[in-house]
Amino acid sequence: MNQPFFDHKTNPQLPHEAMLEWAEKKPHDLFLRQIKNREFTDYSFADVVDKALRLVSALQEMGIKPKDRVALISKNCAEWFITDLALMLGDFVSVPIFPTAGLDTIEHCLTHSESKVLIVGKLDNSEATQQAITNLPDILTIAFDYDSAAKCQYQFEVLLTTHNPSSFKAEHNDNTLMSIVYTSGTSGLPKGAMLTFGGFSHASKHLINHIGMQQDDRLFSYLPLAHITERVYILGSAFFGGIQTAFPESLDTFIEDVKMHRPTLFISVPRLWTVFQQRIQDKLPQKKLAILLKIPFVSGLIKRKLADGLGLDKARVLGCGSAPVSASLLKWYESIGLNITEAWGMTETFAYSTLNHPYRSDKVGSVGAAGPGVELKIADDEEILVRGDSLFAGYYKNDEATAETFNKDGWLHTGDIGSIDSEGFLTIQGRKKDTFKTAKGKFVAPVPIEKHIFDLSNLEMMCLIGSGLPGPILLAVPHAYPNFDQARYERTALKNLETINDGLESHEKLKGILMIKEPWSIENGILTPTLKIKRHVLEKKYHDFASNWPQDKKIIWE
């Protein structure tokens, strides 16, 4: 029989306390599964706690004191969980850094947080990290045992084998600072959000109870743990719920890795759900798929085969968040038997605010209703305000920004604009800052238009720009089909452009579409580490070109 989350001796409790309890209660049960050389390297609850306490001893011997900051840059792996637990147990403040961060961001996070130690793990490219280590020689460095890690002063495994488990007892409460998470904002240098043990615990436990997670569930951790969504939804759920969690070996083996673990709970971002859809449609064109899904006996077979092909045949809850997602994409997944719960939150709310769970098809297009412990309201200027027991404590060394974020009644200004329907379901129109004014002097909200375009078209990525322009211009990255027919694609795009413009106010109508040559990525500076598009970067890059858009052209190929 499944054991519910509320099986702990103490409640409420903090994440490290939950882990100590699991290690006592079921020490030999599998907890973490790291795929290496196509096989699982397994860690029991007792293993994880033992290694974490050994790391505490090692850091203490290096002279690291309680409340000191310890930074961590790595792709997801079992060692990431072990390290985060160690920092909680040792009363150190964790400073996670995105593994795709550039040199400026890495140095900013390290110096602004005054980190004493940098722990380095799996990286696709270690050059920026290595340069930061060279530039900041006073910071102690530790490397996980992966070939892709930067060169460091100490090796993780050596430290664990040469130190005994610490007997130090950290005294934490709800207000104790647990972590400084630097937001991957779409503009400017990231701000350090101060996250407390209480906020993290409330968000994680509300989520576990609302979803109905069980101890025999399985999680798969691959979205960056430096991002609050993965930290709460996966690490928090794993710690509090005692849920087995696996980690991929590499991006190249990702789907096979998911198949090896067969998670029962799986979350992703819109960009990856779109990639999965396009992979399926490349092998099984939509027209053929639609016909097969109408045949009763064949329909069930096709749905099982598609879920199995993604490694999601055992998944009972699927999630999506971190960026706006098209309702048509979610409806498409529903058509193949995969219901995806859309959720909404931000670093400042521990990624936990609303979710469409239990899944309601009629509410697709909204981001769901407020979760337990969360209050929502819409301000006079349509900004979404949030209040609850899982809010951040403010921005590190930035009292001015903190004061701007909260009002006198404790409501947090999210910066998003939206509306709430009669059943409490929230629909987001976009960021207040994303709304731009064209040369005609009227404001345009780009996100609803982009969602409508996505519903009609096969675009890899898109972004509407228009600040100070005669009219909005759509920047579009076409999906790279096999045997791509540019002329046919352009005819379809023109038809879709006319359909879109027919439903828009005169000042909102698109002047044209610029088909982008090079896909946007984190590496070329267009996407944030959580795959959000930096609209301001594209506005700047294409402003002059769009200002001189030829009157006789509707579509231009870059």
Cis peptide before 358 (omega within 30 of 0): yes
Report the alpha-carbon distance of residue 4 to residue 541 in Å, rounded: 52
Q: Give me the helices (H) in 69-221, please.
A: 78-89, 103-113, 127-135, 156-161, 197-211
Q: Look up residue 376 and give its two tokens.
A: 């929502």
What SS3 class is residue 524? Answer: coil
The torsion region of residue 411 among left (phi > 0), alpha (psi -120 to 50) and beta comes to beta
Neighbours of 91 (CB within 10 A): 20
Q: Look up residue 115 and give its two tokens.
A: 């980190």
Query: What is the amino acid identity at position 441?
Result: G
Question: In the chain, what are the domains?
Answer: 15-241 (3.40.50.12780), 265-313+316-431 (3.40.50.12780), 436-557 (3.30.300.30)
Neighbours of 490 (CB within 10 A): 16
Instruction: Say what the alpha-carbon torsion angle 347, 349, 352, 355 is, to the nearest 10 degrees.
Output: -100
Sign for the pseudo-dihedral over CA of 436, 437, 443, 446: negative
Q: Which residues pair with 220 in a beta bridge?
A: 246
Cis peptide before 12 (omega within 30 of 0): yes
Report the alpha-carbon distance of residue 90 to residue 169 in Å, rounded: 8
**Separation of first and last alpha carbons in the chain:** 59
Contact 361, 334 (CB under 8 A): yes
Which residues make Cβ contacts (< 8 Å) with residue 545, sequence separation at least 6? Answer: 514
**Local confidence pLDDT in tens for the 558 residues of the chain:** 344 444 444 455 899 999 999 999 999 999 999 999 999 999 999 999 999 999 999 999 999 999 999 999 999 999 999 999 999 999 999 999 999 888 999 999 999 999 999 999 999 999 999 999 999 999 999 999 999 999 999 999 999 999 999 999 999 999 999 999 998 655 567 899 999 999 999 999 999 999 999 989 999 999 999 999 999 999 999 999 999 999 999 988 999 999 999 999 999 988 889 889 988 998 899 999 999 999 988 999 999 999 999 999 999 999 998 877 888 899 999 999 999 999 999 999 999 999 999 999 999 999 999 999 999 999 999 999 999 999 999 999 999 999 999 999 999 999 988 999 999 999 998 788 877 778 777 778 888 888 888 877 777 788 998 888 888 999 999 877 777 888 888 898 899 899 989 888 878 899 999 999 888 988 888 888 777 888 888 888 998 888 889 888 999 998
Contact 474, 513 (CB under 8 A): yes
Report the alpha-carbon distance of residue 257 to residue 250 in Å, rounded: 8
Report the alpha-carbon distance of residue 491 to residue 226 in Å, rounded: 42
Q: Look up residue 215 and give its two tokens.
A: 């101890």
Helix-, strand-, coil-residue percentages of the chain, each rounded to 5: 35, 25, 40
Query: What is the amino acid identity at position 512?
Result: G
Q: Tally the C-alpha atoms within 13 A of residue 409's C-alpha that lie toward its C-beta.
A: 9
H/E element holding 446? helix 446-456
Query: To which residue do tokens 């944030």 refer?
Result: 528
H/E element holding 340? strand 340-344
Report the alpha-carbon distance of residue 33 to residue 220 in Å, rounded: 9
Report the alpha-carbon distance of residue 220 to residue 265 in Å, rounded: 8
Contact 194, 395 (CB under 8 A): yes
Q: What angle in degrees, to the nearest 10, is found between the helix axes of 78-89 and 45-61?
A: 60
The torsion region of residue 220 among left (phi > 0), alpha (psi -120 to 50) and beta comes to beta
**Whole-number pLDDT of residue 4:** 41
Q: DSSP for 354-402?
A: EE--S--GGGBTB--EEPTTEEEEE-TTSEEEEEESS----BTT-HHHH
Sign for the pseudo-dihedral over CA of 429, 522, 228, 240: positive
Q: What is the pTM of this model?
A: 0.85
Contact 496, 457 (CB under 8 A): yes
What SS3 class is residue 77? Answer: coil
**Whole-number pLDDT of residue 8:** 40
Q: Look up residue 30 and give its two tokens.
A: 């599998």
Among 295, 294, 314, 293, smallest CA distance to 303 is for 293
Neighbours of 140 (CB within 10 A): 17
What SS3 class is residue 485? Answer: coil
Neighbours of 377 (CB within 10 A): 12
